[in-house]
Amino acid sequence: MFQAHKVLFIYTESPLHVGSGRSLGAVDLPIQRERTTGYPMVQASSLKGKLRALGDPRQNPRSPLRDAELEAVFGPDTLKADEHAGALAIGDAQILLFPVRSLAGVFAWTTSSNVLARWRRTAALAGVDVALPDLAAPEAEKALVGTSSMLKAGESVVLEEFSFAPVPHADVDALGQWLAQTALPAGAEYEYWRQTLPQRLCILPEDAFRDFCLHATEVQTHVRLDPGTKTVASGALFTSESLPADSLLYAPLLASPSRKQEVGLDAAGVMARVEALLQAVPRAQLGGDETTGQGLVAWRLAGGAQ
């Protein structure tokens, strides 16, 4: 029985590639996606593995966890997996804000009513107070924006090569302010982003948002050079897909009392150790291409329903 609940916000500071393996499509190495919606995601196993590695004091000297606490929170390693389960359950990280190139304002943080409804469901589980009115999905070829939006180019909002009629709405301002103060990282270096998020926020028709999530990710071409000729080696050309920088995801964290007898942590204590870990390591590298600066993320924990 889970007795403590929080939500983890994940902000991508560089393109993030959490792969799903080889593909027969146009991109050789695609990112993980939900089956039904096609939205980008990070599977819970990938996220839990990263948090466990960060919590291991042998791998990360900054970890506040002792070895016994690590096993109590995340479970023992594979060789001792039959002893007990970990006390922390982590859900898939789902998309909340997806950045899209804009003719005005450089880029827009886009979302949809479907995404916001799913977010509210998770927020209720995690005890996050989202005291905001429901925003109905805009009509086709229209987009809800804030009253002081920087995305309007004349009488249109132009994202990539698609044009939408802007519909200013005060509730978009309120949502943007809430996300800026609750979901974005709390450091002073994010002050600019917290100030401009309400002006960049754009709620799209659900089909348009899905299409941007499918076709507006970053696709990078990789090659391997022949060391003798300094030309591309035969058969060494491939493409890799990444979630763009400045994307915002969220994942539920659920805790139960520790099952490791010598570590007497209740559910609140387990969650407190996770919070201490995230405070000690406010940034991390997630996913592939670590040596080329990919997958740098900042995170923030919110909520607290018991």
Full 3-state SS string of 20-59: CCCCCCCCCECECECCCCCCEEECHHHHHHHHHHHHCCCC
Where does the pLDDT of residue 84 fall: very low under 50, low under 70, confident under 90, or very high at 90 and above?
Answer: confident
How much is the pLDDT for 177?
94
Indicate the pLDDT class of residue 131, thresholds 50, 70 and 90: low
- Distance in angstroms (rounded) separating the CA atoms of residues 55 and 60: 7
Residue of higher predicted confidence among 97 and 59: 97
Determine the pLDDT at residue 78: 73
Domains and CATH numbers, the chain: 1-18+44-90+250-306 (3.30.70), 32-36+92-216 (no CATH)
What is the reported pLDDT for 24?
A: 59
Q: What is the pLDDT of residues 159-169, one digit of tens each?
A: 999 999 999 99
**pLDDT at position 304, please?**
63
The confidence band for 47, taking pLDDT boundaries of 50, 70 and 90, is: very high
DSSP string, the chain: ---EEEEEEEEESS-B--B----SSSSSBPBPB-TTT--BEE-HHHHHHHHHHHH-TTT-TT----HHHHHHHH---GGGTTS---SEEEPPEEEEEEEEEBSSSSEEEEEEHHHHHHHHHHHHHHT--------PPPPTTEEEE-TT-S-EETTEEEETTEEEEEEE-HHHHHHHHHHHHHTS--SGGGHHHHHHHHHHEEEEPHHHHHHHHHHSSEEEEE--B-TTT-SBPTT--EEEEEBPTT-EEEEEEEE-----TTS---HHHHHHHHHHHHHH-SEEE-SS-GGGTTTEEEEEEEEEE-
Strand partners, 111: 203
User: Would the pLDDT of 82 be above 70?
Assistant: no
pLDDT band of residue 81 (cuts 50, 70, 90) is low
Model confidence, pTM: 0.91
Closest CA to 205 of 160, 141, 147: 141
